[in-house]
Amino acid sequence: MTKCLHVRWPAHFEPSRCPVHVQNELDIAAPPDRIWACLVHATMWPHWYSNSSNVKILAGTGSCLQKGTIFRWKTFGVTLTSTVKDYVPNERIAWDAQAFGVDAYHAWVIQPFAEGCHVLTEETQHGCIARLGNLLMPDRMHKFHQIWLEGLAKQASSRSLQSV
């Protein structure tokens, strides 16, 4: 029997406690290890997800995300500092993200099935900038997370994972 995976929310980031919460999901015709390889090679995100840039690993061992890795990156025009908080290879990864006016938590969950994987991504946010962005452009984060998922699907399903 396949176990049902879900996000393990820290209490502060439980969706019911946050003014901003988005959830996207997609079935991807790729095995978990290929999806995982794309997610943990964060410095490669800008090659297949246009809403990310300047990804730099600040602390951690190696060039891939691991539990405790600290990285800086830019998305939605904001430079964030993130720390990987949840990490189970080929199953789940999540990080927090802080910047002025933003306190966020972004999680990914990979659920294998016969034809590939079901991938869930959810994010919750606190902060004045997060609330303002959600008020002025309520569907923007959902739209771009869907683009991220679709880019992940294309990258993970490609015959060769470029530079991964």
Tell me if 9 is assigned to some domain. Answer: no
Tell me if 163 is assigned to some domain. Answer: no
Tell me if 162 is assigned to some domain. Answer: no
Residue 136 is predicted with a pLDDT of: 82
Distance CA 73, CA 160 (A): 25
Confidence of residue 2 (pLDDT cuts 50, 70, 90): low
Q: What is the pLDDT of residues 81-123, one digit of tens each?
A: 999 999 999 999 999 999 999 999 999 999 999 999 999 999 9
Mean per-residue pLDDT, 55-65: 91
DSSP notation for 5-59: P-----GGG-GGG-SEEEEEEEEESS-HHHHHHHHH-GGGHHHH-TTEEEEEEEE
Tell me if 3 is assigned to some domain. Answer: no
Tell me if 7 is assigned to some domain. Answer: no
Tell me if 5 is assigned to some domain. Answer: no
Q: What is the pLDDT of residues 16-58, one digit of tens each?
A: 999 999 999 999 999 999 999 999 999 999 999 999 999 999 9
Q: How many residues belong to the chain?
A: 164
Tell me if 103 is assigned to some domain. Answer: yes
Tell me if 48 is assigned to some domain. Answer: yes
Which residue range is the domain that position 115 belongs to?
Answer: 15-157
CATH of the domain at 134: 3.30.530.20
Residue 64 is predicted with a pLDDT of: 95
Domains contained in the chain, number:
1
